[in-house]
Structure 1
C-alpha cells in the first residue's frame, strides 16, 4: 500500500484554507491543519477530511510567533515525519476608511504584516527540513490580486500581499532546486471575507464584478484550492510564479 503524502495548511479552518484541506485530502494527502482561533471550524474541516480518507492533525499556532511555529513543526515531525506540501494561507487584514490614511491604526498595520509576511516566511523556513524529506516538495502561498493591482482594500493588506508576491519569488530562488515555491492571487472571492470587506454593498458590487468578468462569475475558494493542488501535484518545472485566479477580469480591463 502506497503511503499517503503529507501536507500542512495554515489558516486551514475556513475559506481558502478549508477548501485546500479538502482538495488535498481528496487527492490522497494526510493534513496538518493549522488554525489561530477557529477551533470549532478546524475540528469540523478535520472531520470532513477524515471522511475523505485523510489522517488529520490539528495544530493551533499564531504563525507570527516563531517559537510557536517551531513547536508546531516539531509536532508535525513527530506525527508525520515529513511534508510533501505546504500551503501558506494564514492571513489577516486591517480596517480603514477608503482614501483616509489617518483612519489606519498602525498596530493593525504591524499585525497584518506580522501574520501575512513574517508568518509566511517563518512557516516556510521552519518547514524546509521536513519538505526536503518529502517527494517533489512544493510550497504554495496565498497572495492576492490586490498585491499586483491595488484597489480600495486596506493599505496594509494590499502592501502585505505585494510583499508575499516578492517573498514567493525570493524563496523560489533560495530553495531551488529542492523545493518549488509558487503563489496564487485570487480576485474578488465569494464568501465571508469579501462580505466583511464590502459590507452592505457586497451583493451589488459582486454582481457587477461578475458581469465584468469574462467567465461571468467571481472566484470561489474551491477554484483557488484547485489551482493550489495543480501547482503542488503538477507543473514540475514551474517555480517563482504568481497565478492570478480571477476569471480573466484583470486581463480584460
Structure 2
C-alpha cells in the first residue's frame, strides 16, 4: 500500500519494485478519492477537501509517472493506464473537485503519451457509473434506485462492472500496441446518447 500523494512513499514503493523485479512493464494508476458535496454546492467545499482530492487523483498520478519512468524504460512493451471518469469529459452533479481531477487525469494522459513516447504508451479508461463499493459510498441509501435509473438510460441497459473495466485495461496492455494518449469510455454508450 502507498499514499500516492506522498512523494517519499511513492519513491519507496518503486524502490521495492526495482529491487524485486528490476523493471516495470505496466503501471495502473487507480488510486482515487472524492468527497460527498455535489457540484451545485461547490461553495461548501473546504480548501482542505479540494486539495486532498487533487493531491490523490492528480498529484499522485504525476508522482507515480515521474518516479516510474526509469523502470518503465527498462520494461517490456511498457505502458501506463490511468483511471479517469466520464465526469472528466462532461459535466454532471458529481463533486466539483472530483470532476476537475478527472479532467486533469485525461489531459495529463495525453501529455504523458507525448513525453514518454515512443517507448512507453499512456492511456486512460473512463468508466461511467460502476457497480460496487465506490458508488455505494457516493450514492448512499439511494444506491439501488439511482443505479437502476442509470441502467435504464444506458443503451446496454446496465451499469459498468469492474470486469468491464478490467477487459479494457487488459486490451490496452496486451493488444493495443499502437494506441497512446487515448481515453477509452466504458459506460455502455451513456455519455454519447444522453
Fold conserved (TM > 0.5)? yes
Q: Give 1:77's aligned residue.
A: 18
Instruction: Give 5+ residue unaligned stretches, structure 2.
Output: none
CA distance in 2: counterparts of 1:119 and 1:94, whole angstroms: 17
Q: Give 2:44's aligned residue.
A: 103
CA distance in 1: counterparts of 2:117 and 2:38, whole angstroms: 41
Select 1:144's aligned residue among 78, 85, 95.
85
1:92-128 Cα distance to aligned partner (Å, 9 max, x none): 1123145122321210100110110000010011111
CA-atom RMSD, angstroms?
A: 1.0
Structure 1 length normalisation: TM-score? Answer: 0.75
Select 1:182's aligned residue among 123, 138, 149.
123
CA distance in 1: counterparts of 2:42 and 2:20, whole angstroms: 46
Q: Does 1:242 align with 2:183?
A: yes
CA distance in 2: counterparts of 1:250 and 1:143, whole angstroms: 14
Offset, 1:196 = 1.3
Q: Alignment length, in residue pairs?
A: 194
Q: After TM superposition, list the pairs within 5 Å mapping 1:59-74 onto structure 2.
A: 60-74=1-15
Q: Give 2:34's aligned residue.
A: 93
Contact 1:184 1:245 in 2 (8 A): yes
Contact 1:97 1:103 in 2 (8 A): no
Q: After TM superposition, list the pairs within 5 Å mapping 1:27-38 onto structure 2.
A: none
CA distance in 2: counterparts of 1:170 and 1:85, whole angstroms: 18
Select 1:112's aligned residue among 41, 48, 53.
53
Q: Give 1:160's aligned residue.
A: 101
Contact 2:38 2:93 in 1 (8 A): no
Instruction: Give 5+ residue unaligned stretches, structure 1.
Output: 1-59
Contact 1:144 1:184 in 2 (8 A): yes
Select 2:164's aligned residue among 214, 223, 227.
223
Q: Does 1:200 align with 2:141?
A: yes
Identify the structure with the greater strand proportion: 1
Select 2:153's aligned residue among 193, 204, 212.
212
- List 4+ stretches of structure 1 deviating above 2 A: none
Q: Equivalent residue of 1:87, what SS?
A: strand
Q: Equivalent residue of 1:227, what SS?
A: helix
Contact 2:39 2:96 in 1 (8 A): no
